[in-house]
Structure 1
């Protein structure tokens, strides 16, 4: 019998037996083949997960995932149980879970759009070398210099993990003026990469928060005046340098200087996977969820409960 992931078996069994979702729709929702859905249901029975009811090992977490999918219109929520209060361990668990999710999700010849940041670097480091799938990994936001957390490094690592080619966006993430941006994006190479970015079928993004410790300010891409302008617009976070308020509304001041795939193009990608954790990210994640950009959220239970509490009227 194949050794299937127990959490995936439970998710499929729940959809099929409790929510009456047909196997064909489950396959589409979870990006699986229909025969694999059938095999997962059979394996769930053989693992004694199904009797008259589904035997949930962690009921609260499963219900929390369902609440996120329902409340925020997500295709999937993957919420890691907090085993302790150690932030570093939680961060490691969430990024390892995101890596595991990608290993399940990525199929032969997929195109994967990749952003940047400490969280995404940890995710790709956790993927390791998998079965070669001939993917195309595309940088969807400009770089932050030569940092190991910059998008060009992460996109190379992603291509290496799944076997395939990486395509670098040779431009800074944020420039000094809209005029400079307009000049840069007229370059044929830049246009080609941005067109590739618009055509990916999976995107992996982090969710940033607004403070002087963020990568944008540490690297000098944004100055104190930019921070003040974002505060004026009540910004709480960003995806690919597109800043938004807690209601998910785009903040326009910085956006005119960003070299990245647009928010509207992000929304057209079939599966945008956001990974974030920590109390400092709660407002940022809520704004990201309300923006309509994300299809999948991977976080931890404590952060998820804080987001639910904050979202209540």
Structure 2
């Protein structure tokens, strides 16, 4: 198969670019039903004239409908996308990039979607779609699933009702988070996941930062002990990876804590732990939630993050990520990751 693809690319190199162009157009229409031609042109970085020409071809083939309120994909269009997915993935070089990252970080699996989620909203939606598919494949009846907060994790929500079969899953907030944007908090996301997947949820309404006295008091409370027990028996964890300084600011961290993060050269953050370029945890906030040591006991970990600017943060965490991790990211972050790794060698 690889030899055949190589021969086709050499004989008809223009075919690869054209196929990827039309595939991307069709995929964008699938993800953004009702989109107009001008908005579509901006997303795929094409002129309206070029986009109109390609859309006429897709419509003539019965792959899309052009309606008064925008465009939508047909069932035949969905079938074409499914049939071509692996081929386009191979031709774009993403399959090889996935293997490279899997080997470098010793991860269970890496899934890369096209685009850069910082520049293209559909890339973040694709990350969410792939995460939902992985959750369906890995989860079993009555599994406990812990989720963190963040916009990329929140992007999974809309895909759960499509890809998740009812399994009585229990979605647990992996941490508190009072003070952040409510819709991006783990509590809100756990509840939203449960609603979309026909499951139940358990929330943790505690501040992100606790004093030592408050922490020692809170962990003795029965409801907190119950949550900690749930973490010990969690089957799947879905989490993001954040930029250290950005996450510290979102938490309204004190100037003292910001100085510590800067002084210790932290670049990445996950689960309230801050990591330096070598992947060492150099600082952590005192919070009730799932802890790093508990991750090694979890059967499946889904690390979800994207965007080229997140690559340094991702690199710092992935250097010591548990081997059962499935990384779901985008092309922008993946290519920047390989560049950073190359610079270290």
Query: TM tier, shorter chain?
Result: 0.7 to 0.9
Cα deviation, residue 155, structure 1: 0.8
Cα deviation, residue 93, structure 1: 2.5
**What corresponds to 1:141 in structure 2?**
175
**What corresponds to 1:209 in structure 2?**
243
Cα deviation, residue 100, structure 1: 2.9
**What corresponds to 1:233 in structure 2?**
264
Relative to structure 1, is the Cα distance of residues 196 and 218 closer, same or farther in structure 2, using a 3 angstrom cutoff? same
Residues 78-87 or 273-282, more deviating: 78-87
Select which of 298, 302, 305 maps to 2:332.
302
Cα deviation, residue 57, structure 1: 3.9
1:39-58 correspondence to structure 2 within 5 Å: 57-58=90-91
Select which of 165, 173, 184 maps to 2:208.
173
- Name the TM-score, length of structure 1 as normaliser: 0.75
Cα deviation, residue 92, structure 1: 2.6
Is 1:194–1:260's contact at 8 Å kept on the other side of the alignment? yes
Q: 2: CA distance between counterparts of 1:96 and 1:199?
A: 26
**What corresponds to 1:244 in structure 2?**
275
* Structure 1: stretches of 5+ with no match in the other structure: 1-46
Q: 1: CA distance between counterparts of 2:118 and 2:280?
A: 32
Instruction: Give aligned pairs, total.
Output: 258
Residues 223-232 or 139-148, more deviating: 139-148
- Name the TM-score, length of structure 2 as normaliser: 0.68
**What corresponds to 1:158 in structure 2?**
193
Residues 198-207 or 134-143, more deviating: 134-143
Is 1:139–1:197's contact at 8 Å kept on the other side of the alignment? no
Residues 190-199 or 166-175, more deviating: 166-175
Is 1:109–1:136's contact at 8 Å kept on the other side of the alignment? yes
Is 2:117–2:306's contact at 8 Å kept on the other side of the alignment? no
**What corresponds to 1:284 in structure 2?**
313
Secondary structure in structure 2 of the residue aligned to 1:67: helix
Secondary structure in structure 2 of the residue aligned to 1:268: coil
**What corresponds to 1:19 in structure 2?**
none
Is 1:87–1:278's contact at 8 Å kept on the other side of the alignment? no
Select which of 111, 114, 120 maps to 1:81.
114
Cα deviation, residue 123, structure 1: 1.4
Structure label with greater radius of gyration? 2
Secondary structure in structure 2 of the residue aligned to 1:89: helix
Is 2:218–2:224's contact at 8 Å kept on the other side of the alignment? yes
Secondary structure in structure 1 of the residue aligned to 2:269: strand
Secondary structure in structure 2 of the residue aligned to 1:128: helix
Relative to structure 1, is the Cα distance of residues 274 and 56 closer, same or farther in structure 2, using a 3 angstrom cutoff? closer
